[in-house]
Amino acid sequence: MTTYQITGPKRLQTTVKLPASKSISNRALIIHALSGGTILPENLSDCDDTEVIIQALKNMPEVINIKAAGTAMRFMTAFLAATEHGEHVLTGTERMQHRPIKVLVDALRRLGADISYEGEEGFPPLRIKGSTLEGGELDVAGDISSQYISALLMIGPVLKKGLTLRLNGEIISRPYIDLTLWTMREFGADAEWISMDTIKVEPKPYVQRPYFIESDWSAASYWYEMVALSDDPEAEVRLEGLMDGSKQGDSSVRYIFSLLGVKTIFASKTPGKPTTVTLTKSGHRVPRLEYDFVNVPDLTQTFVCTCCAMNIPFHFTGLQTLEIKETNRIKALKTELAKLGYYIEAINGCELKWNGKPSAIDHQPSAIDTYEDHRMALAFAPLGFKMPICINNPQVVTKSYPHYWDDLKKAQFTIQE
């Protein structure tokens, strides 16, 4: 097992070429395939999750192994069910085979899909026989993973009757649904909210077109964390390729981090054009942070780690999807932060609280385990500004940010195996 020891630099001055957005890349690839396009979108993410979709769409093997890519599992399930690409088995890692898929399978079956379970009911692997589906009206719960909803929406234009999707109850992760609709419209789809809880997708084919992927706001969040935690009053990080007015839900990171003393400056605010974003310290921070992460659950680890390291009490809600991510992120955060003296409280599986008072530890902290979850490594590494921190299996970052450790070294972090 590889372990890195990470120590932050005294001064933080660097320019970072962020990876392309994984969320947009994966959506654009599925939509591009449904359009019959021959030229791939430009500036695709080079992360593991995107690579497995590229290879699956390119080679279409009988057994498609998407490894640990949850997005790929959900998106490819719908794609294979709604297109005439024959019969395939869709599988993944051991953890992936314990991540639920029943809600999506049931919804696709109601649209006429031919999907069966190869193992345990409700979980991958799946055997999928592709065909052209009728479509029509469909009701699903609004509090399920937005990836299920996005998977259904993206096949809407190729269904004979299109798709009218009603979301019942509380709708979580709405920005990810909006990102899907926006990307679909970029390829000519007619897809809109027609009420607060209903989306209508017309049976209008996608249009082939060149497409450029912007940089990833989720990846940017770890650099915001570094600026917040650095003791350098003149810390400055320049992030390339981000867009003002981005449809990525995690772009809200700039507003939340403004509460923790990080200022965001755009070099250009031209809509739809990538630019350089400069992060500096503002000198102002809140004494306590309360936030509902229901729309941006992937930012939770970043803010939990940041607030602990800054001794800022917090109460975070809207975390109900964290238990079914790459790992149970609520349990993982509690376990790993306790190694550093931060004892956080979990409430009903959907809230995290901390009183802002770390406990003294009289020993060298144990290495942080990453649980095959890229965001554990990405979010804990910036704590190297406060203490030398050891991280097990650091290569897990390739799932979303393959050159993360190289970027940290460029920023003068000390990283030792």
Banded model confidence at residue 324, pLDDT cuts 50, 70, 90 = confident
The reported pLDDT for the residue numbered 1 is: 85
- Assess whether 223 and 193 both reside in one domain: no
Domain total in the chain: 2
Banded model confidence at residue 160, pLDDT cuts 50, 70, 90 = very high
- Assess whether 135 and 248 both reside in one domain: no
CA 338 from centre of chain: 25
- Residue range of the domain that includes 389: 3-20+214-416
Banded model confidence at residue 272, pLDDT cuts 50, 70, 90 = confident
**Which range among 152-156, 254-258, 361-365, 411-415 shows the weakest confidence by mean pLDDT?**
361-365
DSSP state of 233: T
- Assess whether 31 and 146 both reside in one domain: yes
Please state, in angstroms and rounded to a whole number, the distance separating the CA atoms of residues 240 and 335: 34
The reported pLDDT for the residue numbered 124 is: 97
The reported pLDDT for the residue numbered 347 is: 93
The reported pLDDT for the residue numbered 327 is: 79
8 Å CB contact between 115 and 128: yes
**pLDDT of 290 over the 70 cut:** yes
State whether residue 242 is helix, strand or coil.
strand
pLDDT digit string (tens) for 300-322? 999 999 999 999 999 999 998 88
- Domain assignment present for residue 207? The answer is no
Please state, in angstroms and rounded to a whole number, the distance separating the CA atoms of residues 342 and 290: 18
- Domain assignment present for residue 206? The answer is no
**pLDDT of 363 over the 90 cut:** no
**pLDDT of 38 over the 90 cut:** no
- Domain assignment present for residue 384? The answer is yes
Domain boundary among 201, 231, 266: 201
For position 69, which CATH number holds? 3.65.10.10
pLDDT digit string (tens) for 83-109? 999 999 999 999 899 999 999 999 999
180: part of which helix (H) or strand (E)?
helix 174-186
- Domain assignment present for residue 270? The answer is yes
- Assess whether 123 and 109 both reside in one domain: yes
Q: What is the mean pLDDT of residues 328-332?
A: 92
8 Å CB contact between 116 and 106: no
- Domain assignment present for residue 57? The answer is yes
Domain boundary among 134, 167, 201: 201
- Domain assignment present for residue 174? The answer is yes
- Assess whether 288 and 188 both reside in one domain: no
- Domain assignment present for residue 361? The answer is yes
Q: What is the mean pLDDT of residues 116-123?
A: 96
pLDDT digit string (tens) for 22-31? 999 999 999 9
**pLDDT of 155 over the 90 cut:** yes
Joined tokens for residue 26: 């994966």
Pairing verdict, β 191-195 and 136-141? unpaired
- Assess whether 65 and 127 both reside in one domain: yes
Banded model confidence at residue 121, pLDDT cuts 50, 70, 90 = very high
Which candidate, 122, 145, 135, 125, places its Cα nearest to that of 71?
Answer: 145
Q: What is the mean pLDDT of residues 177-193?
A: 97
Please state, in angstroms and rounded to a whole number, the distance separating the CA atoms of residues 373 and 12: 26
Model pTM score: 0.90
**pLDDT of 389 over the 90 cut:** yes
- Domain assignment present for residue 392? The answer is yes
The reported pLDDT for the residue numbered 141 is: 94
Domain boundary among 201, 224, 256: 201
**pLDDT of 243 over the 70 cut:** yes
Q: What is the mean pLDDT of residues 127-140?
A: 97
Q: List active site positions.
A: 298
Q: What is the mean pLDDT of residues 227-239?
A: 98
- Assess whether 92 and 144 both reside in one domain: yes
pLDDT digit string (tens) for 52-64? 999 999 999 999 9
The reported pLDDT for the residue numbered 361 is: 79
- Assess whether 40 and 80 both reside in one domain: yes
- Assess whether 59 and 196 both reside in one domain: yes
The reported pLDDT for the residue numbered 362 is: 66
- Assess whether 345 and 288 both reside in one domain: yes
The reported pLDDT for the residue numbered 133 is: 97
Q: Using alpha carbons only, how large is the chain's radius of gyration in Å?
A: 21
- Amino acid at the residue 53: I
- Assess whether 13 and 26 both reside in one domain: no
- Assess whether 104 and 227 both reside in one domain: no
Banded model confidence at residue 172, pLDDT cuts 50, 70, 90 = confident
**pLDDT of 241 over the 80 cut:** yes
